[in-house]
Amino acid sequence: MNEKEKEVVSKMITIYCRSKHKSGKELCHECEILKTYAMQRLERCPFGEGKPTCGSCTIHCYKKDMRERIKLVMRFAGPRMIFIHPVATVRHMIRERKLNREFSAN
């Protein structure tokens, strides 16, 4: 699976956990479970390297409660990513735009 996607999700969960749960270097138990779950979903994604963004995806592989949790993380951490991890954010945005265009074309 796409290691860059895993890296971005991992960074977003870390930003969220440190800010919302006041965790230190380690994730809290709740966020560690979410991260493990998200990594498993990315590993099993049927689209592989051509994975679209979750909002554009035709398959929702997250259980409803976990989907809500990851949405909270993304809403909170997404806007902050540009300030904390600017290079990773720009690369992610370019990669996602390209993949979503390819996914829409098929």
How much is the pLDDT for 1? 42
- Single pTM value for the model: 0.83
Count of C-beta atoms within a 10 Å radius of residue 105 = 6
How much is the pLDDT for 4? 82
| pLDDT tens, residue by residue, 79-105 | 999 999 999 888 888 877 887 677 666
Count of C-beta atoms within a 10 Å radius of residue 38 = 21
| pLDDT tens, residue by residue, 49-79 | 777 666 667 777 899 999 999 999 999 999 9
How much is the pLDDT for 57? 72
| pLDDT tens, residue by residue, 31-41 | 999 999 999 99
How much is the pLDDT for 59? 77
Calpha distance 68→53 (Å, rounded)? 15
Supply 14's token pair: 């870390």
